[in-house]
Chain A
Amino acid sequence: MSRPDRSGGSRRSGTRWGWGPSAIGKKLAPPQLEKKLTATFLISALLIVVAGATPTAENAREIVAESQKRTDAKSQRYEGLLQVFDAKGKVADKRWTFERLGAHGQSKSVLRFTVPAEVKGVALLVVNHPDRASDQWMWTPALERDRRIALQDRSTRFFGTDFSFEDLEERDVDQFDYTLAGDDAVDGAPCWKIQSTPKQTKSSQYTRSLVWIRKDNYALARIENFVKDEIVRRLAYSDIRNIQGIWTARQLEMADLRRGSRTRLTLDKLEYNVPLKDDDFTLQAIRRQ
């Protein structure tokens, strides 16, 4: 069992707890280096022992909570490229801009299509709640009207992609119960495999989900969603990079296993803690184009 890396994940230089190769070469003379290495080794060993003795890491909920905590940001903005593939190959490209204000369970987000031209301006407002399912509204410029997405409609595919409306909600740690389902590896990275089951207050199309969380940086690696015992959607996270201290997957691929189709979402121009206004996350605001 690894210890949580609260600094934002492992450095990729081999040892996990301190310094990078550039620091060795540029700043430290050999005697200093030797001392530093010794100190680092001792500290690391101590920390590993402490971590091993701490039962919290075995607690599935705490792992998920730690994973969520590490992605906390006051706001987020990115431009997304959606590529939809059916069983025969690529079908369509869509682009959207995404802005989120607030953190898990309390956040609001607006997603607005920019491509293709015929859906340009279509916007989705999602207001997340800590104790229940999110509220969602869609603004359709061609009709000059907004429409609430009803709870029972959340399993519907979002604009021909393999993401459902529910998949666009933020998952909050308090909306699920967790059990540790063992260890596994995703793309060679050791992960905790955790089963999450929605609480009664969280209305969900999924009976349960399996969530893979990387041990080195607590980033999400994969989510498999089940309806009863059938796996229906698989979300794979890749190209995980540290952006402003937050380990973030730059590419998410959702596979609809019943249809045999998949949608790849690539995040461009991703920024955290950008200045956003609460007024821009209202029904009035999504009308403004």
Chain B
Amino acid sequence: MNLRAVVFAALVASAAAPAPLLAQAITSRGFLEGVGYWFPQTTSNDDVHIVGDLLAREEVFARAADWLRFAGGVDFRANSHDQVESDWRVDFQDRGVLRPRLSVRRLSATINKGGFNVDAGKQFIRWGKTEVVHPTDRFAPSDFINVISSEFLPVFGVRASFQHEGDTIEGVLTRFTPSRVPLLDQRWTAVPEEAAGIPLVDAGAMYPTGPQTGVRWSHVGAGVEYSASFFNGFNHLPNILSALDPSPALLLTRAYPAIRAYGGDLALPTKWLTLKAEAEYFTLRQTDAASAVPTDDYILYVVEFERQKGEWVFIGGYAGEVVTEQRLAVAFAPDRGMTKSFVGRASYTIDPRRNLAVEAAVHQNGRGLYVKGEYSQTYGSHLRLTLDGVGIAGEDDDFIGQYHRNSNVSVTLRYSF
């Protein structure tokens, strides 16, 4: 199936719609954001202490008719530490190692009639209900150039749904979009001391071909919400294939396992707390035994509780993993790396302009700890200042602990318009 053709046809059909169209209602939103990070410590592959980041985003939403809407959005980025491409091409695919300078964040048409809804184009598709780890969120790759400050990436495809009373059935067809992994020559690729002298070389990626599909049924009841989902596609987090070059250098290639995943989520408000849970079973889809990218079969699950009280919001829970079949593979897997952990977040609204928040994750074996504190304040209607402090501790063989030299403080200034 040619996914591009399907999406293009949907977009053209939308655009060809009869036109008292010209935007009966157009809204837009955007912001200009500057972030400055200070890392007190260097790492074996990164001696830069200060990193500056700039992001300008503009999104436009047009309602052409009651049943037809369009959305478009672009990002412009700059960075002081070579995390952004230097050329000025407009990126649509989100497959580069570096963040694109100019990229299309969203470009989609939405058609709705009765309970039917179709979104076609570049868009965000989010599944699941939990806040900290999202096992069922299979169409939501992320940018992990900064692992603890990741950002979701859009996907290109079609999402069709039908809602009848409390039930919604949803079908998704997308082109594969990988998560962006940390840069090999920067601090979020943790290099063991013993390998510090060997250059790491990016040997590119083996992107899978073929579409990804998913189906989700969700039910919203009087006192409970739940859903069941099925995913047939590829893990957006790569296996890392390595080869030693005689130069010497370690050549690292990204490869993406073909997987099927079966999952469900639940939100159950009780008198005192809201229980949220999510679980997903991942299994290798052996498309071609010879070229298959191996991955374990495993279950990821999260159980968390939420409570708001006065100006406080509390979220706390546990993320776990059960491996049902182990296969030899080295992978960049922050989703699995954050499991077997207790996670929590508390936020406090001081007043309409000021907020405080603390979040933390600690591995149950005590080998990795992450704590982040945040203070945020608005000035007028447009400006927000955010101060963050991140502390990371632990051991080199732990997913969180390996970043123990990446504790940092940051200042973010965002002008929204």
Contacts and interface: CB of A to CB of B under 8 A. Distances in A.
B126 A145 contact: yes
A283 interface: yes
Interface string B52-67: 0000000001000010
B234 to A, nearest CB: 21
B266 to A, nearest CB: 11
B4 interface: no
A24 B168 CA distance: 61
Contacts of A284: 112, 115, 117, 161, 163, 168
B273 A152 contact: yes
Contacts, number: 108
Interface of A is mostly: mixed
A288 interface: yes
B306 A150 contact: yes
Interface of B is mostly: strand
Contacts of A115: 381
Interface in A63-96: 84, 86, 91-93
Given A120-B27, A289-B71, A283 B220 contact: yes
A157 interface: yes
A143 interface: yes
A187 interface: no
A44 interface: no
Interface residues of A, number: 38
B351 A144 contact: no
Interface stretch (B5-13, B177-185, B281-289, B307-315): B307-315
A117 B382 contact: yes
A92 B124 contact: no
Nearest to B128: A145
Contacts of B384: 118
16 contacts: A84-B352, A92-B353, A116-B381, A117-B382, A118-B416, A135-B222, A144-B152, A148-B269, A151-B271, A152-B270, A156-B308, A156-B313, A160-B352, A160-B353, A277-B66, A288-B112
Please name the 4 residue pairs, one residue from A and one from B, whose CB atoms are nearest each other, closest first: A160-B352, A150-B269, A117-B416, A153-B308
Interface of A: 84, 86, 91-93, 114-118, 120-121, 132, 135, 141, 143-145, 147-148, 150-153, 155-157, 160-161, 261, 277, 279, 282-285, 288-289
